[in-house]
Amino acid sequence: MTLADGGTAPLRFKPFHDSRLTTLLAPAALGVLMVAAWQLAVDSFDIQPFIVPSPHAIFDQLVESRASVWEGIRGTGRNALYGLLIGAAVGIVAALLSHASRIIDLMSVPVVAALSVVPIVALAPVLYTMFGAAANTARVIVAAITVIIPVYFNTLRGLRQVKPVHRELMTVYAASPVQVARAVTLPTAAPYVFTGLRIASSLAVIAALIAEYFGGPVDGLGKAITTSASSSNYPLAWAYVFGSILLGLAFYLVTLLVELRVSRHGPAT
Amino acid sequence: MSSTHPDGPIPANAVEVSGVSRVFPRRQGRDVVALDDVHLTVAEGEFVSLIGPSGCGKSTLLRIIADLDAPSAGSLSVFGKSSRQARLDQDYGIAFQQAGLLPWRTVAANVGLPLEIHRVDKGARRQRVGELLEMVGLTDFAKSYPDELSGGMQQRVAIARALAESPRLLLMDEPFGALDEITRERMQTELVRICSETGAAVVFVTHSIPEAVFLSDRVVVMTPRPGKIIEIVDSGPDTGERRDDDFRDAAGFFHTVARVRELLHGSPAAAALSAARGVENR
């Protein structure tokens, strides 16, 4: 027996290639125009490299020292990734605990909120003395603390989105707490967790990179930028800046894709 | 009561409610009496509707039967057990006004959710989900997600889910309340068919008079402040007739609708007036 009620065809998910193409093309065109204008300005006004080097010079340096830029990306990227993973784990576990216990919630929310106004990178010099300037530990910690904050708050918010009707359904089924978490609470929170991770991903890169300015081993983009700037190799410094943009973008895009995938079937009735 | 029977155990009624009250205490002002001394028996396989204006406690009564709420006074039993035991034993299925489907699960996975939670093995689960989807006419949508379905289809998924464990009692809290009139009548006809196939008893909360009269063997008319049963009206087609769309045009149907409306509005004159205006005509 089949019956279509009201004759309404089910809404299928529209593929968004067409709109995606325009959303990609428009900013790309603007970017190309800006780079062209930059090159033109440097050429026609004879701007010195220590003020701003031309895109062409930066690109030359990028190609020439691609090995060391890649090296820097890997160094900073590793720290940012460890920081992201550790910070995400701590943030999610802390949010789960806060959600499970009212007392932990009362204790931890203000602490994490207070943490969010502390300029975390300012801790870097202190951490270098604590863990030794030869280790990357301080950078990973700085990145991790930065990550904890958005992950914690977003996860907590997600855990609180469980609909009463879903909770009652689980009561009706006499489901165990673990079953409730697996069937309802965690899937409800997942999109929020990934939103937190997306915000945290670029913060992790920024934090790991800035932390390099305050000391530590010489294997990251931040160190490379300061070193080449102080040796007056400005196009190279800019090439490393370009490398760090690529790194931040990569982190952001990967987490964005995961987020889009997870939140595809958003809240329905 | 006639709970002793010479010929061995008589089948327990699906629901027995005696003297149930529910008071919601308030910090300021008077307490809200949602239910006051309610007595109701629902036999096995019987379809009973609870009808009344908002605040008459019909949903509260249903929630108490489902053990989602506890009575302040009085007692009730579901298949001769406490409501808590009946819930733990999965003796009833439930459908709410909101379909309450899990948006990240496919239609099939939503229907199979209670089976999954009660650890029914995969093969048996797939077979049962197939049967249920066929029953509600959604076989082709097994792999769709809830946000791809219309409201009526979502509600049918919810009904299939409620029937997953072949409960002998179905509790429904305004399940068609959010649907348009055309879909609603179609769903009512569907529900009559499903009930005759499963033989389950149904407690059905609604605020639509024709819906209650069309579906039910008995219509329980309730009044608010405090929530009470005014009268229980027998409903249904004449003997030998079927409960199908023709019943909607039968004299008996209109007679029962008028009777229920009269009870809800307090006096025959008021009922006639509102009928003439077409008020509350659903």
The pTM for the full model equals 0.73
Reply yes or no: is the peptide bond before residue A27 cis, omega within 30 of 0.
no
Query: Is the pLDDT higher at A94 or at B232?
Result: A94
Q: Is the dihedral of CA A106, A107, A112, A113 positive or negative?
A: positive
Q: A187 is written with which tokens?
A: 């899937």
The C-alpha of B8 sits at a distance from chain A's nearest C-alpha, in angstroms, of 32
Measuring CA to CA, which residue among A101, A114, A90 is closest to residue A196?
A: A90
Cα separation, A239 vs A229, in Å, equals 11
Cα–Cα distance for residue pair A234/A27, rounded to 1 Å? 27
Name the token pair of A144.
């991790």
- Beta-carbon separation of B152 and A265 below 8 A: no
CATH number for the domain spanning A172: value is 1.10.3720.10
Say whether B147 and A5 touch across the interface (CB within 8 A).
no
Q: Which tens digit of pLDDT belongs to each residue from B124-152?
A: 888 889 888 888 888 899 888 998 888 88
In a domain, A46, yes or no: no
Query: Is residue A244 within 8 Å of residue A198, measured between CB atoms?
Result: no
Along chain A (269 residues), what's the average pLDDT of each consecutive run of 10 residues? 42 53 83 91 85 86 88 91 95 90 84 81 83 84 92 92 90 88 89 91 91 84 88 88 91 88 62
What pLDDT, on the 0 to 100 scale, is given for residue A4?
A: 42
**3-class SS at A136?**
coil
The reported pLDDT for the residue numbered B268 is 53
d(CA B65, CA B216) in angstroms, rounded, equals 18
The class that CATH gives domain B10-91+169-180+197-282 is alpha beta
User: ipTM strictly over 0.90?
Assistant: no
Distance CA A167, CA A162 (A): 7
Separation in Å, CA of A176 to nearest CA in chain B: 9
| Contact: A10, B190; criterion CB under 8 Å | no
A31, part of any domain: no
Kindly report whether the peptide bond that precedes residue B224 is cis, defined as omega within 30 degrees of 0: no
Q: Does some domain include residue A214?
A: yes
Domain annotation covers residue A151: yes
d(CA B261, CA B274): 9
Best of B63, B143, B150 to disrupt the A interface by mutation (most A CBs within 10 Å)?
A: B150
Nearest-CA distance from B114 to chain A in Å?
6
**Number of structural domains in chain A:** 1
Residue B15 φ then ψ, to 5°:
-135, 135
Give the domain extent around A123.
69-265
Chain B residue closest in CA terms to A177 = B117
**Among the partner residues B137, B179, B180, nearest to A2 by beta-carbon distance:** B137
pLDDT digits (tens, 9 = 90+) for B1-11: 444 444 445 55
Domain membership of residue A15 (yes or no) is no
The CATH 3.40.50.300 domain(s) of chain B lie at: 10-91+169-180+197-282
